[in-house]
């Protein structure tokens, strides 16, 4: 069994864990999980993440509004609530924030406004950011070049060439179970070329379960499969690779 796993992006407040959340979170440290970072997706989700982090000392969290919630329904004063929540002692980042143009009906201008406001909060509070970017990399990079935050590009699936620019901006790159998928050519190429001090492991659980659990509910223990694949690509031992990624995560999030 591997030790020292740092799952740098998880969603244990999600309803998918409602049936057995307490039992699972009690068990994870006994099964090699050292740290978990919960990514807030809204004001209410951030509050739920904070509550879990207060109960379980190995869990930390971020405060943020996900781009899918950046629309006309976002209430007035949301940014002040995020700013207030982000001062909690268990918060270590602003996120997950960014741009997502995947589904029809998105509001590009609202997403950009909400993204930029949260980058300003991160700068004000000297916190790293957890970035969610889907089908919007050109616009996201334009904004990131302007704000230059510390942080991580979560669930990276772009090209190695784009990853070079992401790293040149000072960002880390997070890998999920997608790395184990048969069609993950871009992720494999990116993993092979990244500087060792810029790699993070994550689950995005309950989503993105790695092979051989693809399609099932994911949890932090499944990082082992992603780590085995990453270690193979990098020519390292799996525990050595897990330790490297854990140290990277601790450095980024100040743990």
Buried (b) or exposed (e) across 96-111, using 16+ Cβ within 10 A?
Answer: bbbbbbeeeebeeeeb
Q: Output the pLDDT for position 132.
A: 98
Q: Output the pLDDT for position 150.
A: 98
Domain span holding position 65: 5-253
Tens digits of per-residue pLDDT, 128-148? 999 999 999 999 999 999 999
Tens digits of per-residue pLDDT, 227-248? 999 999 999 999 999 999 999 9
Tens digits of per-residue pLDDT, 84-133? 999 999 999 999 999 999 998 899 999 999 999 999 999 999 999 999 99
| Among candidate residues 132, 117, 22, the one with its CA nearest the CA of residue 74 | 117
Residue 113: give its domain's CATH number: 3.20.20.140
Count of domains in the chain? 1
């Amino acid at each position: 069994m591997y030790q020292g796993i740092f799952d740098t992006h998880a969603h244990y407040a999600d309803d998918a864990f409602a049936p057995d959340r307490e039992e699972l979170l009690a068990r994870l440290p006994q099964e090699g999980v050292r740290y978990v970072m919960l990514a807030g997706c809204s004001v209410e989700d951030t509050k739920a993440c904070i509550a879990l982090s207060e109960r379980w000392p190995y869990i930390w969290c971020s405060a943020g509004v996900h781009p899918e919630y950046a629309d006309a329904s976002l209430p007035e004063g949301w940014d002040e609530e995020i700013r207030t929540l982000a001062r909690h002692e268990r918060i270590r980042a602003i996120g997950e924030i960014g741009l997502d143009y995947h589904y029809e009906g998105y509001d590009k201008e609202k997403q950009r406004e909400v993204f930029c406001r949260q980058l300003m909060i991160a700068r004000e509070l000297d916190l790293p950011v957890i970035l969610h970017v889907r089908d919007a990399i050109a616009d996201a990079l334009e904004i990131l070049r302007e704000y230059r935050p510390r942080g991580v590009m979560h669930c990276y699936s772009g090209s190695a060439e784009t990853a070079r620019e992401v790293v040149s901006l000072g960002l880390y790159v997070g890998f999920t179970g997608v790395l184990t998928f048969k069609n993950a050519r871009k992720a494999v190429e990116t993993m092979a070329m990244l500087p060792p001090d810029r790699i993070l492991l994550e689950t995005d659980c309950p989503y993105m379960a790695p092979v051989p659990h693809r399609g099932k509910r994911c949890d932090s223990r499944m990082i082992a499969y992603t780590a085995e694949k990453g270690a193979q690509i990098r020519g390292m031992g799996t525990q050595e690779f897990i330790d490297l990624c854990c140290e990277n995560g601790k450095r980024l999030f100040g743990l």
